Amino acid sequence: MPDNELYPNRLKVKTYLARPWKPFSRAVFINNFMGDLIQPDGYSIWGPNETHIKNCYFAEFGSTGPGAESQARVKWSKSLISKDEATKFTVQPWLQANTWLPATGIPFSPGLEA
């Protein structure tokens, strides 16, 4: 959701989920609420000579809201992925959180919530 100050103009400002700013750029959105400000194509290139779309990985799983509609996402994104694929990007497999996060006292779930 946009900041309260942006909210009245949220549809005038093009808002994307991610851009492939370097080779092998990666962004995975899991179980988010996406407001109507998200552009239907979801992802944007940096410029007309973009070269990083060939090897980026942009994916989504379980998100809701008007901005989560994935039918119009750019062809070079993974778009919707399976639960098994999304699980690979949760805090335990991705960051080995069980080895260090408990010591911080920060509550967390190691995988996908049911």
Say whether both 76 and 89 belong to one domain: no
2 within domain boundaries: no
Question: Is the per-residue pLDDT at 114 higher than 80?
Answer: no
How many CA atoms are closer than 13 Å to the CA of 95, on its beta-carbon side?
Answer: 11
Q: What is the pLDDT of residues 28-77, one digit of tens each?
A: 999 999 999 999 999 999 888 888 999 999 999 999 999 999 999 999 99
8 Å CB contact between 8 and 36: no
Alpha carbon distance 50, 91 (integer Å): 31
- The mean pLDDT of the chain is 93
36 within domain boundaries: yes
Domain encompassing residue 34: 7-81
